Amino acid sequence: MRYILLALFTLSSASLMAQFEGTPTISPSDFETKVYDIDSSAHAITLFEHGKTQIDKSESDRSLMVFHHYKTRLKILTKEGYEHANFTIPLYKYGSTFEYITNIKATTYNLVNGKIENIPLKNKDIFLEHKSDFVKLNKFTMPDIQTGSIIELEYTLVSPDIFNFRSWQFQTDIPKLKSDYRVLIPAIYKYNITLKGPLKLSDTKSKLQRECLVLNGNKIDCSDITYFMESIPAFKAEAYMLAPKNYISAVSFELEEMAMSGGGIKSFTKKWSDVDRELMTDKDFGGQLKKTNLLEETLTKLGDTSYNQLDKAKSVFRWVQKNIKWNNTYGKYAQHGIEDALKSKNGNSADINLTLITALNAAGIESYPILVSTRDNGLPNSLHPVISDFNYVIAGVKIQDQTYLADATDPLLPFGQLPMRCINEKGRIIFSKKSSEWIPLINNQISSTHYNFDGSLEPSGVLKGNLTIMYNGMDAVSKRRNILEYPSAEEYQEAIDEQLTSMTVKELNIENLDNNEISLIENFAIEIKLCDEIKGNTFYFNPIFINRTIKNPFNLDERNYHVDIGSRRDESHTITIKLPKGSNIKTSPKNVSFVLPEATARYNYKSELIDDSLHVAQHLSLKKAIYNTDEYFGLKELFSRVIQQLKIDHSFNYNANASL
């Protein structure tokens, strides 16, 4: 679904229509089939959009609020574009106040027998979902959508978030012919205004608007700025990327300072020392870290304290994982607090990881909180501290000269490994007695999957043998989660049989499912129809019969953001197949080795026939977790070559009078 902020309710305030005057009326010619130069393959296109944001007094809220007025018109070009008539509308909570929406008008226009018909959206077709204590989602689908439909919508969103004003995204997942955004900022406020993304503005206009706001009897002037952009291509997301908001062309605002009514300036731009002090004195952050006495008695029951610090840290980590279940809510501040979270065995990410940090310190292991902005939340501001940028906290554990990163929210995660949601460039480690500092958010363990098969190919074309798959790192976490979705190993085995129709699992044994500190291993006895019945003394098959790379994850002509795969990766296949006696290779893929500059990635493939046994080894290694834009085309070409390599079957001549 597209994300656009729409309206739900009606407010008896000034008419929204007055906010955007002079928009063109819809005519029959607008429904003509067109191919737009900006993107000839687009399934939908925004014809125009206007935004206007201002700070004003809200009599009903009895405070200053941000009023964001929006109007857009878009066209559905193909059946595939119907999804752009689905909308999800998030409303966020700031303090005790939720954003709300007023003055909605949403209509679908269709050309029927040469006449324009309009079908308005009805209130009964708008649904409200409470996603969390902090987010509500309004969802609806525009009525009577057809190929060629034009959608027009407008609304006003009212928000208490004066600090961040209202960001404007020029770029979305469909192209736009034009987009403009007007802001009226009272002179009492000073904002840091940031333009980001690869696209350039087509124009900017600014002027002074006199007496745009009356506050406490004082008439205040405003800076009136309008940003224009035209011919805006769609932002195309691809595999292995951070949140799109990090790369989309947009303008954002962050409150720097405010003039006080009694005189003087209040600064909102803090130093990290101010943030450190604020966090460590907050009862729901630093206050929780002082509760070591709650945990000391419990920790003495964990066992012998004579083992080394790393083993002790792992023991504490596992104890926290087992005793507080994550409620799937992010947070940098405790939702319930350590004591209540332990009693109820439930809490948000801060409840769990602040408990972990406190427990580690109670056990004599140096540990500190690390503020994190999760992967979908966007990158934190690195120029100056913005505490609202962070929505999560993890633990930094100091053992000898190494700092381990730990998150106890997921019972499948081993100590020292982060979930993918937390791998977002860098976090801020908050020390108790010295200034905080940035720390890279990385998983040192390589994510790997290794396939080993030893079997024989019968003249009927059926391959029988034993397949062993070993998983480590994030691959092991993902596979453990997959297996545990099934009530039993037998049902998991049945699911594999259903998914891989050509393969029959005769036997399955899983090792180390309950021990996430070591490799997860699956052992299969399998039969697979690898090739058609051998005829004419020649048979063909591809020995890489499981998890063969067939699709390139990198397909853009140009990628303006780096490739972030979360950790270094490694995958290998070691295949040994006993062939019918007297077999010899007729054709086979060439033995190859592809290496990117500075050996940042490598692929090797080798096959040979020794005494009627085919030995195949392939190995793909990505030596970096992050590849920059200059390295993108090398990765794209590497995967393209791997795919071409694996398309080639082996063919063999076979002595029909011989037997296995």
What pLDDT sits at residue 306?
A: 54
CATH number at residue 649: 2.60.120.1130
Q: How confident is the model at residue 10 (pLDDT cuts 50, 70, 90)?
A: very low
Q: Is residue 26 part of a domain?
A: no
> For the residues 482-501, what does the mean pLDDT come to?
89
Q: Is residue 115 part of a domain?
A: yes
What pLDDT sits at residue 341?
A: 96
Tell me how far apart the alpha carbons of residues 50 and 562 are, in angstroms, rounded to a whole number. 31
Return phi, psi of residue 15, to 5°.
-65, 135
Tell me how far apart the alpha carbons of residues 99 and 200 are, in angstroms, rounded to a whole number. 31
Residue 557 and residue 646 in one domain: yes
> For the residues 339-367, what does the mean pLDDT come to?
96
In the structure encoding, which two tokens stand for residue 577, read together?
């197949």
Count the neighbouring beta carbons within 10 Å of the beta carbon of residue 179. 23
Q: Is residue 502 part of a domain?
A: yes
Q: How confident is the model at residue 531 (pLDDT cuts 50, 70, 90)?
A: low
What pLDDT sits at residue 656?
A: 52
User: Quick check: 16 pLDDT over 50?
Assistant: no
Tell me how far apart the alpha carbons of residues 309 and 112 are, in angstroms, rounded to a whole number. 75
CB 99 within 8 Å of CB 157: yes
Residue 81 and residue 8 in one domain: yes
User: Quick check: 12 pLDDT over 60?
Assistant: no
Sheet holding 437-440, edge to edge: 402-406, 392-399, 367-372, 426-429, 437-440
Q: Is residue 659 part of a domain?
A: no
DSSP 535: B
Mean pLDDT of the chain: 90
Of the listed ranges 161-165, 242-246, 318-322, 553-557, the least confidently predicted one is: 161-165
Count the neighbouring beta carbons within 10 Å of the beta carbon of residue 320. 23
Q: Is residue 127 part of a domain?
A: yes
Amino acid sitting at position 385: P
Residue 409 and residue 514 in one domain: no
Q: Which residue has the higher pLDDT, 501 or 274?
A: 274
User: Quick check: 361 pLDDT over 80?
Assistant: yes
Q: Is residue 318 part of a domain?
A: yes
What pLDDT sits at residue 263?
A: 79
Count of CA atoms in the C-beta half-sphere (13 A) of 443: 28
Residue 359 and residue 401 in one domain: yes
CATH number at residue 160: 2.60.40.3140
User: Quick check: 270 pLDDT over 90?
Assistant: no
> How many angstroms separate the Cα of 93 from the Cα of each of 25, 233, 379, 574, 586?
36, 32, 21, 53, 68
Q: How confident is the model at residue 7 (pLDDT cuts 50, 70, 90)?
A: very low
> For the residues 8-37, what does the mean pLDDT come to?
68
CATH number at residue 349: 3.10.620
To the nearest whole percent, how much of the chain has pLDDT over 70?
94
Q: How confident is the model at residue 654 (pLDDT cuts 50, 70, 90)?
A: low
> For the residues 591-614, what does the mean pLDDT come to?
95
Q: How confident is the model at residue 103 (pLDDT cuts 50, 70, 90)?
A: confident
Of the listed ranges 90-94, 444-448, 617-621, the least confidently predicted one is: 90-94
651 three-class SS: strand
Residues 6+ apart with CB under 8 A from 185: 55, 165, 191, 222, 223, 225, 253
Residue 358 and residue 344 in one domain: yes
Which residue range forms the structural domain that includes residue 173?
A: 2-12+38-266
Residue 353 and residue 336 in one domain: yes
Residues 6+ apart with CB under 8 A from 146: 76, 110
Residue 501 and residue 610 in one domain: yes
Number of structural domains found in the chain: 3
Q: Which residue has the higher pLDDT, 635 or 457?
A: 635
Tell me how far apart the alpha carbons of residues 225 and 229 are, in angstroms, rounded to a whole number. 14
Residue 167 and residue 91 in one domain: yes
Q: Is residue 542 part of a domain?
A: yes
Of the listed ranges 49-53, 254-258, 469-473, the least confidently predicted one is: 254-258
Q: How confident is the model at residue 314 (pLDDT cuts 50, 70, 90)?
A: very high
Q: How confident is the model at residue 3 (pLDDT cuts 50, 70, 90)?
A: very low
Tell me how far apart the alpha carbons of residues 128 and 182 are, in angstroms, rounded to a whole number. 29
Residue 289 and residue 151 in one domain: no
What pLDDT sits at residue 532?
A: 56
Tell me how far apart the alpha carbons of residues 37 and 150 are, in angstroms, rounded to a whole number. 19
> How many angstroms separate the Cα of 442 from the Cα of each of 351, 448, 551, 562?
23, 16, 27, 16
Residue 319 and residue 196 in one domain: no
Locate the DSSP E strands across 512-552: 520-529, 538-541
End-of-domain residue from the set 410, 440, 470: 440
Task: Write the pLDDT tens digit of every residue in 422-463.
Answer: 999 999 999 988 899 999 999 999 999 999 999 998 877 789
Q: Is residue 285 part of a domain?
A: yes
In the structure encoding, which two tokens stand for residue 628, read together?
């920059």
What pLDDT sits at residue 660?
A: 40
Tell me how far apart the alpha carbons of residues 68 and 90 are, in angstroms, rounded to a whole number. 14
Task: Write the pLDDT tens digit of every residue in 179-234.
Answer: 999 999 999 999 989 898 889 999 999 999 998 888 888 899 999 999 999 999 99
What pLDDT sits at residue 302?
A: 67
End-of-domain residue from the set 388, 416, 440: 440
Residue 534 and residue 636 in one domain: yes
Residue 523 and residue 562 in one domain: yes
How far out from the chain centre does Cα 353 lie? 21
End-of-domain residue from the set 414, 440, 466: 440
Q: What sign results for the dihedral spanned by CA atoms 555, 560, 565, 567? A: positive
What pLDDT sits at residue 539?
A: 79
Q: Which helix (H) or strand (E) is 404 found in, with range? A: strand 402-406
Tell me how far apart the alpha carbons of residues 553 and 573 are, in angstroms, rounded to a whole number. 20
User: Quick check: 658 pLDDT over 60?
Assistant: no
pTM of the entire structure? 0.85
Q: How confident is the model at residue 522 (pLDDT cuts 50, 70, 90)?
A: very high
Of the listed ranges 7-11, 86-90, 581-585, 627-631, the least confidently predicted one is: 7-11
User: Quick check: 89 pLDDT over 90?
Assistant: no
Return phi, psi of residue 304, to 5°.
-60, 130
